[in-house]
Amino acid sequence: MPAILQAQNMNLHAYITELSKTSSVRAIMLDMLCTAALDVVRQLSIPTYFFTPSGASAFAFYLNLLEFDTTSALSLKDYGNNPISFPGLPPVLASDCPLFLLDREFDSYKSFMQNFRCIVKSDGILMNTFESLEPKAISALREGLCVPSFNMPPVYSIGPLVTETGEKETEERHECLKWLDSQPKGTVVFLCFGSMGGFPLDQIKQIAIGLENSGQRFLWVIKVFVNLDPKKIFNTSIPEFEMDQILPEGFLDRTKDRGMIVKTWAPQIQVLHHESVGGFVTHCGWNSILEAVTAGKPMVCWPLYAEQSLNKVLLEDHDTRLGVAMEGYDQDMVGAEEVEAKVRWLLEGEGSKLLKEHTKTMMDKAGEALTETGPSSQAFVEFLMDLEKQQLSKTKI
């Protein structure tokens, strides 16, 4: 990937140069994986900012790892089951870390560290998060605690940036929304694992047995993968499949009065905001977390790849308390008994009441963050003001 992006630098330089003939290029915003473009933008003396779609906690972890890489000869895997303490984060286990970062000899590790050496040289970093959700991580980033060996650029938390939830009058409502309309308030558990998340057939059957035995209402989005490798982000899914071929015999008939299964995709934001949904079993992708938080839905965490286990650590932290882990998610198989237990606990257990209270409180804080005087709106104003200062400074020169 870095070589492919690097190969585009000449075209990028030509494009920006041509654009500058008719427009004033005030700044360039780069994705955190597009650091190869930084050299080009610097040559043209244009302020450069990075946007990270992940949360502040995951980003703080990456920067802490950059500092760790600079000051230690160890790899994360060397910690075994001992917790790793980084500024701005709850204790993290090596098993919570992305697999591609566990060994400093991995090419993926070296590439990632090079990326972040570039990112800290930028003029600022914009993040899709908000103060109340990740106060410790945001504070540690702003104070430069994660990378004391480097000069930390400004950090702007401008989230939660989530797609609007309203349904357009002209669009046909998804069948699952119509089904949810007929269910009692707060009684449905929603299971969805992202655009690239899924399970092999054996695990799908265990989930099905657990849902059936729980006796609870459910809406489940299913993807089926061929030769699924959990170490890979990209796996080959089966676009067309028959439900009765992948589910336990008779499952659909036995659960037809309280469950619905959707192939491949459902309108997740609209589902989460539906009053019938009482909880969310999620892979802990950052967008899904923000969508659940803004909808006020408690989560059962089932991380699958990338930084999702780090996100799980944040959700389970005693200061956050927005989710609980599905036990065995990091093993070969989560058993039907665990699925049953967690679904029951989430929808009707006494212990889940505190989780639901925390979730509702965080939903309100998410809304407040984006008001005119809210911290995220103010952070974006601060970004614009800093950008203006850079422009004035450049003009004086």
At 79-116, the pLDDT tens digits run: 999 999 999 999 999 999 999 999 999 999 999 999 99
> Average pLDDT in the 118-144 region?
97
Within 10 A of 202 (CB to CB), how many other CB atoms are there? 9
Q: What pLDDT is attached to residue 238? A: 57
**Cα(361)–Cα(236) distance, rounded to whole angstroms?**
39
The pair phi, psi for residue 145, each rounded to 5°, is -75, -25
Enter the pTM of the model.
0.93
Paired strand residues for 339: none
What are the tokens at 45?
A: 């003396």
pLDDT band at 47 (very low <50, low <70, confident <90, very high): very high
Q: What pLDDT is attached to residue 397? A: 41
pLDDT of 396 above 90: no
Q: What pLDDT is attached to residue 105? A: 97
> Average pLDDT in the 361-390 region?
96
Higher pLDDT, 397 or 31: 31
Q: What pLDDT is attached to residue 166? A: 61
What distance separates the 2 farthest-apart alpha carbons in the chain?
76
pLDDT of 195 above 90: no
Tally of helices (H runs) and strands (E runs) in the chain:
16, 10
Superfamily of chain region 2-159+376-396: Glycogen Phosphorylase B; (3.40.50.2000)
> Average pLDDT in the 243-266 region?
94
pLDDT of 395 above 60: no
Non-local CB neighbours of 359 within 8 Å, separated by 6+ positions? 292, 293, 296, 297, 298, 299, 322
**Cα(279)–Cα(191) distance, rounded to whole angstroms?**
9
Looking at domain 175-367, its CATH class is: alpha beta
**Are domains 2-159+376-396 and 175-367 of this chain identical in fold?**
yes
List the chain domain ranges: 2-159+376-396, 175-367
- Mean pLDDT value across the chain: 92
The CA-CA-CA angle for residues 194, 289, 277, to 5°, reads 85
Q: What pLDDT is attached to residue 167? A: 61
Q: What pLDDT is attached to residue 362? A: 98
pLDDT of 241 above 80: no
